[in-house]
Each structure stands twice: as structure tokens, then as C-alpha cells.
Amino acid sequence: MNTAYYESPLGRIILASEEDGLCGLWFEGQKYIPEKQLSLAVQADDAVLNETKRWLDSYFAGKQPEGIPPLHLQGTPFRIRVWNELLQIPYGSVMTYGELAQRLQRDGSRCSARAVGGAVGHNPVSIIVPCHRIIGADGSLTGYAGGTERKKALLTMERAVW
């Protein structure tokens, strides 16, 4: 695993890549950072990390970045389904946990908003896999591992209405 740091307007971000794809993007100090894995990681300068930094530069400049860096998402099949569905939420849009659960049920499978919330909360590639675009049924900004103030700042930067 290769890692790098990115200094964002919302705090320092830890980036991690593995097998030619981004596998982690966490705000320093947020919930669910795999500290044990990162302690074994090598500080490196690789193509995926550099592409991710350029994407973040564009994003934090208030622009909608083109495409996304290559991803190497690691998790249970259910979590990966949830994270892939998050990638379908347009820039500047929001969706509730319940609405996301309904989208995941299109294929006839069943899942609850609570199960979706668990998967969203453990998203290892925040911002790029836009878990910050998921809100509570009442419009509240809940459940962001990087903190609700950051979630609000990200949605404000995207000019999202919630």
C-alpha cells in the first residue's frame, strides 16, 4: 500500500493506493481509518495518488472534476454495491438513506436504510465516493465519519440543496 497526504481546506487528508487503484481517502482523525494497515504503508509518489491529488485540487477549487481516479474498493459485496451506487449520485445532489436503500432493491433484493447507513459510514474513499451526499430522511446532516461540519462544507461547496 502506498500513501500520501493532501492538505485540503477542510483539513489534512490521507490517501492510500493499492493494486493500481485508490483504496483510501480519509480526513486525518476521522472514524474508521485502518490505522494498523496505514502504519505498514509506504509513503510514496505514484500515478494513482497524483491523479487523486489533481482531482482534489479541482474539487476544492469549486469545480466539478472530470471522471474519477481508478478505484480499488475493498469490502463485503454488500458494501461495494452501496459504494458503487453512491458513485451514481450527481455532483451537487443529495439522497436519503431510505432512497438509497430503495435504489439497491431494484434487483429484487432487500435491504434496510440502517444497513445502507452502516455501509455508507464505512466508505473508505470519502469525497470521491460521495457518501457526504447522503442525508437523513428529515434533511439532517447525519452519519459522516469525517464530521458533520465537513459534510456541510462539502455540500455547500457543491451548492447542494438539502
pTM: 0.93
Average pLDDT over residues 133-157: 94
Q: Is the dihedral of CA 66, 72, 74, 79 positive or negative?
A: positive
Q: HEC profile for 17-46?
A: EECCEEEEEEECCCCCCCHHHHHCCEECCC
Q: Are 38 and 14 in contact (CB under 8 A)?
A: yes
Q: What is the pLDDT of residues 105-117, one digit of tens each?
A: 987 888 899 999 9
Q: Are 120 and 100 in contact (CB under 8 A)?
A: yes
Instruction: State yes or no: is 23 an active-site residue.
Output: no
* Domains of the chain and any CATH numbers: 2-60 (3.30.160), 77-157 (1.10.10.10)
Q: Among 15, 131, 134, 155, which one carries the catalytic annotation?
A: 131
Q: What is the pLDDT of residues 33-84, one digit of tens each?
A: 888 778 877 888 899 999 999 999 999 999 999 999 999 999 999 999 999 9
Q: Are 75 and 123 in contact (CB under 8 A)?
A: no
Picking from 31, 20, 6, 16, the residue whose alpha carbon sits closest to that of residue 151 is 31
Cα(147)–Cα(95) distance, rounded to whole angstroms? 18
